[in-house]
């Protein structure tokens, strides 16, 4: 099975310093929807793995979160792609849970659901915690420079085997090329 795991905020859609709280606030990054379509058409199952501390902070409820995800699913479908599933951590840093990246609880759920080892599976994100989680599960860390990616790329703690691309479209070119 070909699987790719993608963080959404800063990779698929624009980040917000005040959190994405409604479907109206969700806007895709140029080229990201078509990139997911290309991944789908190349035989990848696209899985989203995302920290969603806005839920734990009370900034949005599950109805709003589901509406945001529905908008994303429809936009990706309209572009010719599909998101196979969405895994998320609703906790804040203060909760000290095992599912919030850079911890690997979300990825253990993905391994269990798909009955797959994540060794060398691409994990695409824009933050250091995405890259750290990828390394912990033996996946291939891919950093995109959208969202927080430019800032993250300057971090000296970035895993040395992290591949860096301008955006999701460029990372998709690499994976499907």
Give per-10-residue mean pLDDT for the chain (177 aa).
96 94 97 98 98 95 97 98 98 95 98 97 98 97 97 93 97 97
Token pair belonging to 87: 């895994």
| DSSP letter assigned to residue 60 | S
The CATH architecture that domain 2-176 belongs to is: 3-Layer(aba) Sandwich (3.40)
Please tell me the distance from the alpha carbon of residue 63 to that of residue 66, in angstroms, as a whole number.
Answer: 5
- In degrees rounded to 5, what are phi and psi of residue 123? -120, 120
Residues in CB range of 115: below 8 A, 6 or more apart: none
Q: What is the pLDDT of residue 17?
A: 86
Task: Say what angle helices 128-136 and 105-114 make with each other, to 10 degrees.
Answer: 50
Q: What is the pLDDT of residue 106?
A: 98
The CA-CA-CA angle for residues 93, 16, 20, to 5°, reads: 80
How do the domains of the chain map onto residue ranges? 2-176
Instruction: Summarize pLDDT for 122-169 with one digit per residue, the tens.
Output: 999 999 999 999 999 999 999 999 999 999 999 889 998 999 999 999
């Amino acid at each position: 099975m070909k699987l790719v795991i993608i963080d959404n905020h800063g990779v698929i859609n624009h980040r917000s310093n005040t959190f994405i709280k409604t479907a109206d606030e969700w806007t895709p990054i140029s080229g990201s929807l078509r990139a997911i379509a290309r991944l789908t058409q190349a035989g990848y199952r696209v899985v989203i793995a995302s920290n969603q501390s806005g839920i734990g902070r009370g900034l949005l409820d599950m109805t709003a979160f589901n509406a945001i995800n529905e908008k994303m699913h429809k936009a990706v479908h309209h572009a010719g792609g599909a998101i196979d599933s969405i895994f998320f951590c609703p906790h804040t840093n203060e909760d000290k849970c095992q599912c919030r990246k850079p911890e690997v609880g979300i990825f253990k759920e993905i391994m269990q659901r798909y009955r797959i080892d994540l060794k060398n599976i691409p994990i695409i994100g824009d933050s250091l915690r995405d890259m750290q989680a990828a390394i912990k599960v033996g996946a291939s860390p891919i950093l995109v420079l959208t969202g927080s990616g430019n800032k993250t790329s300057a971090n000296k703690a970035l895993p040395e085997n992290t591949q860096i691309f301008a955006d999701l479209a460029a990372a998709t070119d690499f994976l499907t090329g």
